Structure 1
Amino acid sequence: MVEAAEEWTPVLRQEVPLRQLNRIARKPPIDIEFQDLTYSVRDSYSGKGWRQLLKSVNGIFRSGELTAIMGPSGAGKSTLLNILAGYVTAGVKGSIKINDRARDMHFFKKMSAYIMQEDIVQPRLTIREAMMFAARLKLGPEIGESEKFSVVEEVIKLLGLEKAMETRSEYLSGGQRKRLAVALELVNNPPVIFLDEPTTGLDNVAIKQCIELLEKITKIGRTVICTIHQPPASLFQNFDQVYVLANGYCVFNGSPSCLVPFLSKANFHCPSTYTPADYIIEIIQSNTETISQLSGGIQNGKTNLLEARNKEPVMRSKSIDMYEIYQDTTPPISSNQDGVFPVSIWGQLVILLSRTFLQMKRNHSLLYIQFIHHLASGLLVGGIFVGLGNDGTQGLALFKYILSVNVFFMYTYVMVPVLMFPLEVKMMKREYFNRWYSLKAYYLAFTISALPLMILLSIMFIMIVYVLSNQPMDLERFAWFTAMGLSIGLCSQGLGFVIGSTFSITNGSVVGSSALAPLLALACYGMGYRAAIEPFMKIMISISYLRFGVVGFSLTLFKNREPLDCDEMYCHYRNTDLLLKDMGMETASSQIQLYAILAYTIFFRILAYCTLKYQLTSELRNKIVYLATKIVRQKE
């Protein structure tokens, strides 16, 4: 029996184009074997029982081969890919081996890359810049900038992106964007690359280029596994191995050229007007007998029909033969391969901050919108209450002024993250799963990068409304007024992060506006009751961080102040201490209000981080859901 590995070894010994990358980040070839792989989820339709998405499937995906996982919708293609990539672990039974050893996820995640179906890449960066940021994060500080640049050039040339090297990502075509997504993951030389529907949304030319690109990657010793619905007839033979799923079973496993003979043995004769890929998809759709027959013929994936280079179909054994690939004899430079990340958390923070600030600098439309929003809002609020700051006849109007400033900081800094953060999470999801950086570093960078613009624009707004409304020109009062405004903005931003990391843009917009209404109502409750607020309501109003903002602003403007000007016979609130007394604030402290707002700010930031980690870590989320449903199942 001829082994295909012996026939393919000369091909894999050819000179590898990524000589510099192999020298810097040498990685061994990896074969993936899975046996009796089963995956079950809770039945969402009936709410009772479990539904098997994969049913004891088997297979081997080898280094140097381009493998396509095919099947109709709902067959389990993406499920199998997610399990092999480690994206899903809860509810999985069976064994997954790497080079004939049990898979160690800590090691495997550093040796693999997962390119998701949505080829979302960082905006407002050129291909060269995006690649360099990826190289700095994935190759470590011990490798010089010149060597990283050499690696980036090698990968760009391999993927045919030289002409678009200085083009920003938002101006790339669909095929170029897909190639860039692959290039970003090749920077650290992963031996295994998973791709979920890489041809989705591409035209025929771009699909051809994409498949040829994946072929090129396999020739340098990589294991490339992708899901694909139905490949074009002209490209079906380009795959080294085809793994067809139907209703959770494997119905074919082997070379494309072996598919027609396999079907013929099962008395399914492919018409000349059909391509083999289209024909097998058609006959297995909703036909359980056919699925059972084909699955039995291929032993649910245990049998692997591969065609050797001499075009003779052979039965390949399940043992893994390590392929030899050409490697430069120079020892690898990178010495941090055993660490969790090649770069320390502080190094990641610096790189991510530099990338974020560059993107913000180029995002002119957002800068203009935020500037105009703060300027127009400042002029509007200041214009409504112009000159009332020292008018004893307008005591209640001054209180409305304080509410208006609170509402501005609340809605502005809650809704911006609600609308923008979900998109940020989508872009970050791929990088985080592929271990570019830790979530702590990203979250710190995202939080810090938002501060400078927020502080500058908030101070501009505060100066406008403070001066136009003719508030006391007292440096200490202005400093406290500014501190209160910034603290409310920071706290609101934290709440926006919580909502934005939990919900989509559409749902988040509804939840955000719905959550702010009761917070504002609680902030105003009891004004005019003096100290006669029910004990229960005192607890309730403390839930609203805006309450502390209203009290803090009021104390800043009214406490220990000279009597206001009065042009009438009697001005009830000329003495501002009386206004504070009627509002039940006479015994309150500005410092306590600020501390309370800062405590809420810290709480929201921590909650946003935990929510984001839960959303990003599918493994954690799936485990929680799996354990919960398992407990319910035991009770039943």
Structure 2
Amino acid sequence: MSTDNLISMEQTRSVDPPRADYATNGKIFPNSNNNNTNHMDAAEQIELQDVVGVPSNGNNKHSNDNGRARSSSVNGNSGAEGSPGASGAGSRIAITDISTTPPRTASTRNSSERSLPLRSYSKWSPTEQGATLVWRDLCVYTTGEPNGASGGGSLHKMKRIINNSTGAVQPGNLMALMGSSGSGKTTLMSTLAFRQPAGTIVQGDILINGRRIGPFMHRISGYVYQDDLFIDTLTVLEHMTFMAHLRLDRRVSRRERKEIINDLLERTGLLSVAHTRIGSGDDKKMLSGGERKRLAFAVELLNDPVILFCDEPTTGLDSFSAQQLVQTLYDLAKKGTTILCTIHQPSSQLFDMFNNVLLLADGRVAFTGSPQNALNFFAENGYHCPEAYNPADFLIGVLATDPGYEQASQRSAQHLCDMFAVSGAAKQRDMLVNLEIHMAQTGDYPFDVEVDTFRSAAWYKKFHMIWYRASLSLMRDPTVQRMRFFQKMAMAVIIGACFAGTITVSQLGVQAVQGALFVMISENTYHPMYSVLNVFPQGFPLFLRETRSGMYSTAQYYVANILAMLPGMIIEPLLFVIICYWITGLRATFFAFSITAISIVLVMNVATACGCFFSTAFNSVPLAMAYLVPVDYIFMITSGIFIKISTLPMAFYWTQFLSWMLYANEAMTIAQWSGVQNITCFEESENLPCFHTGQDVLDKYSFNESNLYRNLLAIVAIYFGFHILGYYCLWRRAKKI
């Protein structure tokens, strides 16, 4: 299909979405076979709702057939694998179960019944009414192309991760997304949350309360990732405050913001550690693994999401912490939140806390319904769970691929998927999906109105918060600030001591002055340049996660981090020059000292800018360092101390225009020798060339006094050039992933 037919997801908001669409990085390839659903009168709507809400034992063929018939009247389609529509951010419909209802037991954990109000479709307001998330005929493909291009839209060359998946999660339900490794759990959930990586092609429908949804999903949902990413030097309260400023509506007052933060810290049990640093501190006190996971949940609950996605939330936690975490999820679900989470090998107690499960096998749905009905379905197909055996382990084990028996295992799993596709549970699921799509037609309240009601933080507020966080992190990291500061001061003393007493207005003094200037330039070039190579790679995962959530832009992040480093890039070289300059005994004039200080400050900043560029241009620090080393040699050779610039070969003559070391060396040399009229010549050097004036020294290195301020401006231009390239590389990397 030609890309000329691309239609933006935001532009295709018809109440009856197409049966199967492609979506490539937020764009849709509409299917030409779109059928408008038929409207039903009020009596038929009530009858259909009653049918969905009637419990059945999975063997009531008459009930399922009736439901299927009504489903056909809604969508105009029928068949074993009916097309569910996606609904979500606004549902409060009293439907007991999307699959066959299990027998009543003393436990209420697996009961899907909720005392939720019947949803009103007169308007679409998910933040007030809850969310029913539905996906229909969903296929997800991955491609090696960075932007998802696939050779003109051909799908046969790509790997299919999700294969015609259909499902629904209602408000008040806690659904577990389970399957063996590689079954597509995380891919399915990230796709439903509209957080799939670049290069992913999505085909099918994802809807909230029967309506198509796009980037607005980020606003009404929370996504808890498997790995917790924080800035370890911040405290819990500081992290929550930062996130609150970027996630909450700008009209929320300071008092309300504090109340929200305190309430979440209390609900998640983090109030007692509010002033504890997340990862490390001087007192060595830090958050435990369970506390870090709860902090991740607290952040996602800031905007009171109606849908919560959790990617293996219990990974890395002990049994007690995992139990507490799932209990928190269960309590949230009871209050009407729609929760979908992938989970890997839960204990039997944890498994019992989920209302519904969705089992995946090689990207296909093997079952969706209550945990007890899952066991019943497997038993009906010849797979009986042994006594005193963990049901979750049993279900995953049946669907897993056994080493050495790959083909047999895959055939067994595909057989279960085929049997589920024609089961009563699948038909009842399809009926719910069609009901969601049909009932959404009764309202004309577009989600644009809901989007317009939210006001994110102003750009300058976002910029200030990013800068403040980066500044706190730098000040509290002893390896970045304290050690580097003391190392810089120590080097200033050592360099000054080495050249002390050698700086004189003589032939030997010329060499000593030029040597001291070069060492000062080198010290403020190489160490700062290599010390920042890990700054952006280290923070890239967190940056990528936060920008994908729409918290801030790449430009805000890059500029804020550069400005956070700027005070250190000014104070350190100034102190270095003050110490080193007077110990070495360089020219004692205000002009010479000022030019030297300005040059060294600019050198340190442009070297840092070069390091930032290389750190964003390559995926790893070793690779960036491998390419940076030869560049350093070129700049050092063309600094003017080793070779006369006018004698450079034509092939390398252009490199001098990029060498800030040359510009700084020329400016500082001019400051030291400009106006010097009498340089002493020794008697023993009568037959050797002798510098009589400062102009002779400048001529020796092909330096010109008229280039003084041009050199300083050239360093500034190189500084901004490196940062522009660094920003572009960071933006491009974020776009590719």
Q: Same fold (TM over 0.5)?
A: yes
Q: Amino acid of the residue matched to residue 87 of structure 1?
A: R
2:611 maps to 496
Are the aligned partners of 2:194 and 2:214 in contact in 1 as well (CA < 8 Å)?
no
SS for the counterpart of 1:268 is: coil
1:607 maps to 725
Distance 1:615 1:600, change over 3 A: same
Shift, 1:521, TM fit? 4.2
SS for the counterpart of 1:281 is: helix
The superposition leaves residues 214-254 of structure 1 with CA deviations (integer Å, 9 ceiling, x where unpaired) of 22222232222222222122211212222222222222222
The question of 1:60 aligning with 2:168 is answered yes
2:482 maps to 368
Shift, 1:573, TM fit? 4.0
The question of 1:72 aligning with 2:180 is answered yes
> How far apart in 2 are the matches of 1:86 and 1:348?
23
1:32 to 133, 152, 157: 133
Distance 1:269 1:481, change over 3 A: same
Distance 1:76 1:498, change over 3 A: farther
Distance 1:31 1:495, change over 3 A: farther
1:586 maps to 704
Q: Structure 2: any 5+ residue segments left out of the alignment?
A: 1-50, 56-93, 97-111, 119-125, 146-155, 280-285, 438-448
- Once the two structures are overlaid, the 10-residue window that deviates more, 173-182 or 74-83, is 74-83
> How far apart in 2 are the matches of 1:264 and 1:477?
89
> How far apart in 2 are the matches of 1:223 and 1:215?
10
Are the aligned partners of 2:533 and 2:621 in contact in 1 as well (CA < 8 Å)?
no
The question of 1:296 aligning with 2:418 is answered yes
Are the aligned partners of 2:513 and 2:586 in contact in 1 as well (CA < 8 Å)?
no
Where do 1:86-125 residues align within 5 Å? 86-88=194-196, 90-105=200-215, 107-125=216-234
> How far apart in 2 are the matches of 1:590 and 1:125?
44
Distance 1:567 1:184, change over 3 A: farther
Are the aligned partners of 2:312 and 2:342 in contact in 1 as well (CA < 8 Å)?
yes
Shift, 1:608, TM fit? 1.8
2:300 maps to 185
> What number of residue pairs does the alignment pair up?
587
Distance 1:398 1:74, change over 3 A: farther
Give the number of the structure whose alpha-carbon radius of gyration is greater: 2
Are the aligned partners of 1:255 and 1:305 in contact in 2 as well (CA < 8 Å)?
no
SS for the counterpart of 1:169 is: coil
Are the aligned partners of 2:52 and 2:432 in contact in 1 as well (CA < 8 Å)?
no
The question of 1:263 aligning with 2:389 is answered no
Q: Amino acid of the residue matched to residue 481 of structure 2?
A: L
The question of 1:416 aligning with 2:538 is answered no
Are the aligned partners of 2:670 and 2:705 in contact in 1 as well (CA < 8 Å)?
no
Distance 1:377 1:211, change over 3 A: same
Are the aligned partners of 2:471 and 2:565 in contact in 1 as well (CA < 8 Å)?
no
Shift, 1:209, TM fit? 1.4
Distance 1:181 1:467, change over 3 A: same
2:313 maps to 198
> How far apart in 2 are the matches of 1:385 and 1:603?
35
> How far apart in 1 are the matches of 2:474 and 2:457?
24
2:497 maps to 383
Distance 1:512 1:66, change over 3 A: farther
SS for the counterpart of 2:638 is: helix
Q: Amino acid of the residue matched to residue 151 of structure 1?
A: I
SS for the counterpart of 1:182 is: helix
Are the aligned partners of 2:135 and 2:205 in contact in 1 as well (CA < 8 Å)?
yes
Are the aligned partners of 1:249 and 1:300 in contact in 2 as well (CA < 8 Å)?
no
1:486 maps to 601
Shift, 1:339, TM fit? 7.8
SS for the counterpart of 2:206 is: strand
Where do 1:201-212 residues align within 5 Å? 201-212=316-327
1:430 maps to 545
1:473 maps to 588
Q: Amino acid of the residue matched to residue 135 of structure 2?
A: F
Are the aligned partners of 2:679 and 2:694 in contact in 1 as well (CA < 8 Å)?
yes
Alignment RMSD (CA, Å) = 3.2
SS for the counterpart of 1:143 is: coil
> How far apart in 2 are the matches of 1:544 and 1:80?
50
> How far apart in 2 are the matches of 1:525 and 1:85?
57
Where do 1:219-618 residues align within 5 Å? 219-284=334-399, 285=401, 286=406, 287-299=409-421, 304=426, 317-319=432-434, 338=452, 342-364=456-478, 366-392=480-506, 393-503=508-618, 506-507=621-622, 510-511=625-626, 514-524=629-639, 527-529=642-644, 531-564=646-679, 569-570=684-685, 572-573=690-691, 575-586=693-704, 589-616=707-734
The superposition leaves residues 12-48 of structure 1 with CA deviations (integer Å, 9 ceiling, x where unpaired) of 469xxxxxxxxxx95552232222222223479xxx9
SS for the counterpart of 1:542 is: helix
> How far apart in 2 are the matches of 1:563 and 1:300?
102
Q: Amino acid of the residue matched to residue 67 of structure 1?
A: M
Q: Amino acid of the residue matched to residue 291 of structure 2?
A: Q
Q: Amino acid of the residue matched to residue 140 of structure 2?
A: Y
Distance 1:413 1:235, change over 3 A: same
Distance 1:315 1:493, change over 3 A: same
Shift, 1:574, TM fit? 5.3
Distance 1:602 1:43, change over 3 A: closer
SS for the counterpart of 2:134 is: strand
Distance 1:523 1:31, change over 3 A: farther
> How far apart in 1 are the matches of 2:536 and 2:423?
42
> How far apart in 1 are the matches of 2:630 and 2:342?
41
Q: Amino acid of the residue matched to residue 298 of structure 1?
A: F
Are the aligned partners of 2:229 and 2:542 in contact in 1 as well (CA < 8 Å)?
yes
Shift, 1:119, TM fit? 0.8
2:288 maps to 173
> How far apart in 1 are the matches of 2:416 and 2:678?
92
> How far apart in 2 are the matches of 1:118 and 1:357?
24
Are the aligned partners of 2:141 and 2:158 in contact in 1 as well (CA < 8 Å)?
yes
2:257 maps to 148
> How far apart in 1 are the matches of 2:612 and 2:550?
22
Larger % of helix: which? 1
> How far apart in 2 are the matches of 1:243 and 1:218?
17
Shift, 1:340, TM fit? 8.3
Shift, 1:305, TM fit? 8.9
> How far apart in 2 are the matches of 1:341 and 1:538?
54
The superposition leaves residues 554-588 of structure 1 with CA deviations (integer Å, 9 ceiling, x where unpaired) of 33333443444556654734533333323222376
> How far apart in 2 are the matches of 1:93 and 1:507?
39
The TM-score with structure 2 as length reference comes to 0.73
Shift, 1:179, TM fit? 0.6
Are the aligned partners of 2:359 and 2:366 in contact in 1 as well (CA < 8 Å)?
yes
Distance 1:315 1:415, change over 3 A: same
Higher relative contact order (CA 8 A, sep 6+): 1
SS for the counterpart of 1:154 is: helix
The superposition leaves residues 102-147 of structure 1 with CA deviations (integer Å, 9 ceiling, x where unpaired) of 2222x22222222222212232333223222222222244222111
> How far apart in 1 are the matches of 2:564 and 2:115?
49
Misfit runs of 4+, over 6 Å: none
SS for the counterpart of 2:607 is: helix
